[in-house]
Amino acid sequence: MNICCTSDFCGSQGDFGSRMREIAETGFTHYFWCHQWNTDFLYTKPELDEIKKIQKSAGLKLLDIHGSAGSEKRWFSTTEYIRKAGVELVKNRLEMLDALEAEGVLVMHAPNVKYFLPEVISPEENDAKNNAARAEFEAVCRSLDELMPELEKRDRMIAIENLCRDDWSMIDAYLERYPAERLGICYDCGHANIYRDRMDQMEKRKSRLAATHLHDNDGTGDQHKPVFTGTIDFGRLAKVIATSAYTRPLSYELSMRNTPFWDPEKDAHGQTEAARRAFLADAFKGCSKFAEMVEKERSGK
């Protein structure tokens, strides 16, 4: 059974070789590149050659890459030179997809209009954030317009990820504006479970599902816990995925941090190899169980 694990289950910067080998030795067949997911880091040939060498020796295949919206290079910026620099950052990750022979897509964060929750934010702050998001939406569209020729040349797709309190209106606008073979959805089931269950939003749009970020939480925050350890209804999600357009391996965006395997006295680089391996082995059981649930739904058994 093909199952994918994120590369940054224990830290998104620094050492990636040990993480990739541990992922493979646990039984995962694919990895999802999530290192440097929120930085301006540009990958160069020596780095890509090293990643490819480790990928090959570990017997792993690359599924998706989490592109970076950047810190100073932002594809959604309303300042033009920053936006253009952000487009170059996205192109760098598209080049990476090809260099590492990825089977999947480039996942991107984008501005979103958030529904109002009085216990979380004031009406004024919510309105201000949503007004900013609407201006940034136009910037993302300019960036996507510029990226379309690159996506067509490489025969690649960008998947826009749903975020916390996302009302999905901007995702709908992107889906309406851009073709299905170039733009889809990355469904993050953890984001959709924060504050209230919004799985129905994905169910309505499952014909455009292009990537998955599977993990769990208790509804209070983005905890990236292993599946079946929180409050997400994975029985229902299995049915949604099984009847969607998605056919590639299921991808799990897991983190050690909110589990018993994490040593709170140490940072990500200080977690022991034994703890990392124990975490992966424990998480793999749930990942396999859910993958089997999806296959069962697909087969109708």
What secondary structure letter does DSSP report for 244? S
Task: pLDDT band for 300, please (50, 70, 90 cuts).
Answer: confident
- Measured distance CA(189)–CA(199) in Å, rounded: 7
Q: What is the span of the domain harbouring residue 161?
A: 3-299
Number of domains in the chain: 1
- Across the range 257-285, mean pLDDT stands at 97
Q: How far is CA 128 from CA 122, 139, 165, 219, in A?
A: 10, 17, 15, 25
How many beta carbons lie within 10 A of that of residue 190, not counting itself?
Answer: 23
What pTM, to 2 d.p., does this model score?
0.97
Instruction: Specify the residue for token string 């209230």.
Output: 196
The pLDDT of residue 195:
95
Predicted confidence (pLDDT) at residue 185 exceeds the cutoff of 90: yes
Predicted confidence (pLDDT) at residue 301 exceeds the cutoff of 80: no
Chain segment 145-163, per-residue pLDDT in tens: 999 999 999 999 999 999 9
Share of the chain above pLDDT 90, in %: 99
Chain segment 220-253, per-residue pLDDT in tens: 999 999 999 999 999 999 999 999 999 999 999 9
What secondary structure letter does DSSP report for 194? S
Q: Which two tokens stand for residue 254?
A: 């897991």
- Across the range 186-212, mean pLDDT stands at 97
Chain segment 87-116, per-residue pLDDT in tens: 999 999 999 999 999 999 999 999 999 999
Q: Find the length of the chain.
A: 301
Predicted confidence (pLDDT) at residue 217 exceeds the cutoff of 80: yes
Q: At what angle do helices 17-26 and 273-299 cross, to 10 degrees?
A: 50
Q: Identify whether the C-beta of residue 241 lies closer than 8 Å to the C-beta of residue 209.
A: yes
Comparing CA positions, the residue from 69, 90, 88, 240 lying closest to residue 157 is 90
- Indicate which CATH number applies to the domain containing 83: 3.20.20.150
CA atoms within 13 Å, Cβ hemisphere of 285? 7
What secondary structure letter does DSSP report for 210? E
